[in-house]
């Protein structure tokens, strides 16, 4: 038993056909008893109107706050305003993603749904840099998405994962000053099922674990690995740290091998039946083992028995 994890966007806007292909792997894994998590790192709706997905798919830089649209004075609230052009693009985007999630629902797959992660950081367009200390715009976007997916599209197979970045007590004190508290944009218990943060540290310390426990949801770790430019990161790109290779364009693995990477941990000797309660980098595939790429060694989990899909709640709609 393990977890298969994919990102429905991040590196480009994927066509419905491409998402359907990815879903087949997720469905097959779920039917073997595994868990499925889908992260969604959407490209900025200011950058791509999604009218030509094949000809203009965009790229990962369109998820970042240094994207060109920022210089135009973008307003996050436009995203959920249906009278704006950005709002129309956003709803088009939500429909495309909801269609993909509906395929998983029809197949009986429960999804750990992790949208717009690390919102308390400054690197994504939905992070705090665009709104300063005001987190209400992000919270409104999350709640609007929740209502649309849950009540309009009836996606009762989603477990909503709030995933902040590590902040205070960070290994990088300068970065810690630029990252808000873990609960800075917390949308509220009605809209969240799981709190699962991210941490990249060589000492494998989770700096905000106590903050996560202060919230009422189930707690896990969504991204947990060695530090960028740390002892185990040779290239400074996070593709050589202790997790599966990412799907970034600058990865050592070409895009056409995306689906082959679903089998990569097994190929390196990490069997699927070694599971823990964390899942790996969102663009990666994790079989639940603590795989350390720098020495290609699979370290079995010796803790409590991992959770299985059958033990998860089926959803909130009755």
Catalogue the active-site residues: 118, 223
Tell me how far CA of residue 183 lies from CA of 29, 189, 208, in angstroms.
Answer: 32, 11, 10
Helix 16-31 with 85-106: angle, nearest 10 deg: 30
Dihedral, CA of residue 82, residue 83, residue 86 and residue 91, to nearest 10: 20
Contact 116, 142 (CB under 8 A): yes
CA-closest candidate to residue 220, choices 146, 142, 303: 303
Q: Report whether 9 contacts 40 (CB < 8 A).
A: yes
The CA-CA-CA angle for residues 294, 167, 186, to 5°, reads 115
The Cα–Cα gap between 72 and 70 comes to: 5
DSSP 148: I
Q: For the beta carbon of residue 67, count every other beta carbon within 10 angstroms.
A: 18
Residue 200 in 3-state DSSP?
strand
Q: Which residues contact 289 (CB under 8 A, 6 or more apart)?
A: 2, 265, 270, 271, 274, 275, 276, 298, 299, 300, 301
Backbone torsions φ then ψ of 40, nearest 5 degrees: -130, 110
């Amino acid at each position: 038993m393990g977890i298969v994890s994919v990102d429905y966007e991040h590196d480009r806007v994927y066509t419905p056909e491409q998402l359907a292909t990815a879903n087949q792997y997720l469905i097959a894994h779920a039917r073997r008893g595994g868990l499925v998590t889908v992260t969604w790192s959407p490209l900025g709706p200011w950058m791509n109107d999604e009218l030509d997905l094949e000809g203009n798919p965009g790229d990962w830089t369109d998820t970042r706050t240094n994207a060109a649209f920022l210089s135009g004075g973008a307003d996050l609230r436009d995203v959920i305003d249906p009278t704006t052009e950005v709002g129309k693009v956003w709803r088009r985007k939500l429909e495309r993603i909801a269609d993909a999630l509906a395929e998983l629902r029809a197949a009986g797959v429960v999804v750990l749904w992790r949208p717009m992660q690390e919102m308390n950081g400054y690197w994504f367009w939905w992070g705090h840099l665009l709104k300063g200390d005001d987190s209400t715009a992000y919270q409104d976007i999350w709640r609007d998405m929740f209502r649309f997916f849950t009540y309009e599209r009836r996606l009762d197979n989603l477990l909503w994962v709030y995933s902040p970045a590590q902040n205070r007590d960070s290994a990088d004190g300068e970065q810690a000053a630029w990252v808000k508290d873990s609960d800075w944009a917390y949308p509220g218990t009605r809209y969240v099922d799981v709190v699962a943060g991210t941490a990249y540290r060589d000492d494998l310390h989770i700096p905000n674990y106590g903050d996560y426990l202060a919230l009422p949801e189930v707690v896990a770790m969504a991204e947990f690995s060695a530090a960028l430019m740390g002892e185990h990161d040779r290239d400074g790109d996070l593709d050589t740290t202790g997790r599966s290779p990412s799907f970034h364009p600058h990865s050592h693995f070409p895009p056409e091998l995306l689906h082959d990477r679903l089998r990569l941990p097994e190929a390196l000797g990490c069997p699927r039946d070694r599971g823990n309660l964390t899942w790996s980098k969102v663009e990666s595939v994790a079989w639940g083992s603590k795989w350390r790429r720098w020495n290609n060694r699979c370290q079995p989990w010796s803790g409590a028995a991992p959770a299985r899909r059958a033990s998860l709640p089926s959803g909130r709609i009755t």
